[in-house]
Amino acid sequence: MKQVIVIASSGGNLYHLGGSHPEVLIKELQTQAEAANVEIRGIQFIATEQSMDHVKSTSPASLFGWDPQTSSLEHLFSGTLEEVNQRAVDLDKRLAESILDGEIDGLIAMSADPSKANQQVIQAAVEAKIPVVGTGGTSMADIGVQGANVIAQSGTTGTSNKTRAIGFMTALSKYWKTKYTPKLHATEAKEHSKPKKLNVRGIMTASLPAFIALAIVLALSKVPGLTMLSDVFDVLIGALPVVIAVIAAKQIAELEEVSIVAGIVAGLLAVNGGIIGGLLAGIGAGYLVPYLFSKCLKLNFPATTVNIVAGGFGGLIPGLAVFYVLGPIALQLGDWIRFAIDQTILFNPIVAGVVAGLLIWPAIIGGIYHAAILPIVLLEMENTGNSFLGAIDMVGLVMVAAGINLANIIAPRRKGEAAAAGPSFGINMIFGTFVESAYPFMFANRLVFIGAIVSAGIGGAVVGMFNLRGTAYVPAFAAPGLSDSVLGFIIAMTASLVSACLFTIVANRIQAKND
């Protein structure tokens, strides 16, 4: 296992790109070091409370070292920057001695101070001819002038904790001719260099807040005196593909700011393709960014350039593909899906509502809801700000769950169940979510389960009767205002809540008699 020493400071530009949080910065470096089979043997980190571009000798600062027992930063001293620099000399000397003793194989420098705080380490590295990698344009130039064996250097601009660490380990591993695959995902133990598998469900779920914001703006734009918000609604609709593209790129690639920038570029170019176009562009960026990032590192590009190429071209290429080729196809596909839904509802709205209501609980229990229904809800909301299936969600899931919980508050089967149902009912009504709170009661009593499905069907029938459009994941008292018919939505919500409550009360009494 190779041994390295790290010399660093909060830096000037680095302060705004990770240097203000030494623990997080070093943790990412340690993660990549472990992936490269490299051990951190020592650290000298001088941290300040602001960018070093603006500090004085009297500014507060702290000195951190390395605790090999816990493999983490160790706070050694706090005082003025001048005092910290004086204390750093002793640590600098000890680290330099370990280099001269032949114990160290490489040196990592981030906004180091080769003329003072890190002078002895740099001199030892020059004498031992160990490879040096680092960022910080001025400091790395000074280190190179002193004769150090600098194998990779870059400015700090455009880098992040992850991309810097990956760049360091790639250069060192290439120099040592050892194997290293960047660890892109912190939870992964194997296949580190591979992007995450595509998860449309996760992308759509994470995008939900943007669609809720759209529904809120739509509702407010109908209030007298707030009609100007219709322009905001149009802006938000145009932004939805960007939101989805960013989330897709970030979830797949997980290269921090690089992924986000690529997602934004791809999403902006995919706006005319709707949310399907944004999804395609974001997925493309998510897979292309790690590929370009890895290729640039192998070509020894500076860290700043690596980020520019990966983030810029990683978003530009899939974005242009959607803009010129896939966008019209994606937009047409979205229109076809919405048309199919609308025609199904128009054929017989009540039957459509009943069927959707009856199937909504089996769908969420079976794991189909988030994988299939939620994306369709969001696709509906893209044009109108609300959705038929969104109304079914609120009426058939949230209000039914609220009814079951309310029944167990009023007439619980057992004494302890009321205490559990109370907070759940509050979450159902106040936040419009946590329908899973009804599961224990549904699975414990078959009649409650049947009642939930029937009640959802009843609510769905009312939704179809009024041909309602709405949304879930909002407070119950706000949901009618976000629908296209306040009165109709209130009736539908009340119908399913009362039905589920009565079914559950009756089921509890029957169960109590049998017990």
| E strand or H helix that includes residue 399 | helix 399-410
Residue with tokens 């170019």: 269
**Which pLDDT does position 188 carry in this prediction?**
47
Taken in order 71, 72, 73, 76, is the CA torsion positive or negative?
Answer: negative
Categorize the per-residue pLDDT at 205 as very low, low, confident or very high, splitting at 50, 70 and 90. Answer: confident
Least confident of 69-83, 359-373, 436-450, 454-468: 359-373
Residue with tokens 């988030």: 370
Quick: pLDDT tens for 136-168.
888 999 999 999 999 999 888 878 899 899 999
Instruction: Give the percent of the chain with pLDDT over 90.
Output: 70
Residue 79: Cβ within 10 Å count: 15
Task: Name the DSSP class of 70.
Answer: T
| E strand or H helix that includes residue 119 | helix 119-128
> Which ranges constitute the DSSP H helices of 154-228?
161-176, 200-221
Quick: pLDDT tens for 298-338.
888 888 899 999 999 999 999 999 999 999 999 899 889 88
**Which pLDDT does position 191 carry in this prediction?**
42
The domain covering 2-176 belongs, at the CATH homologous superfamily level, to Response regulator (3.40.50.2300)
Residue with tokens 């999804």: 279
Query: For residue 238, is pLDDT > 50?
Result: yes
Beta strand 106-110 with 2-9: parallel, antiparallel or unpaired? parallel
CB 246 within 8 A of CB 267: yes
Residue 513: Cβ within 10 Å count: 7
Query: For residue 498, is pLDDT > 90?
Result: yes
pTM of the model: 0.75
The set of residues, in sequence order, having a beta carbon less than 8 Å from that of 187 and lying 6+ positions away, is none
- Among residues 146, 244, 242, the alpha carbon closest in space to that of 203 is found at 244
Query: For residue 90, is pLDDT > 50?
Result: yes
Categorize the per-residue pLDDT at 196 as very low, low, confident or very high, splitting at 50, 70 and 90. Answer: low
- Indicate the residue type of 111: S
Domain(s) labelled CATH 3.40.50.2300 in the chain stretch across 2-176
Categorize the per-residue pLDDT at 190 as very low, low, confident or very high, splitting at 50, 70 and 90. Answer: very low
Top-confidence residue, 416 or 126 = 126
Residue 86 burial (C-beta neighbours within 10 Å; 0-12, 13-18, 19+): middle
- Among residues 352, 257, 36, the alpha carbon closest in space to that of 167 is found at 36
Residue 415 burial (C-beta neighbours within 10 Å; 0-12, 13-18, 19+): exposed
Quick: pLDDT tens for 216-232.
888 888 888 888 988 99
**Which pLDDT does position 194 carry in this prediction?**
53
Mean pLDDT of the chain: 91
**Which pLDDT does position 179 carry in this prediction?**
93
Residue with tokens 């020894």: 300
**Which pLDDT does position 416 carry in this prediction?**
82
CB 112 within 8 A of CB 156: no
CA distance 68 to 323: 52
Quick: pLDDT tens for 246-256.
999 999 987 88
Taken in order 348, 351, 356, 357, is the CA torsion positive or negative?
Answer: positive
Quick: pLDDT tens for 374-404.
888 888 888 778 899 999 999 999 999 999 9
**Which pLDDT does position 413 carry in this prediction?**
87
CB 310 within 8 A of CB 255: yes
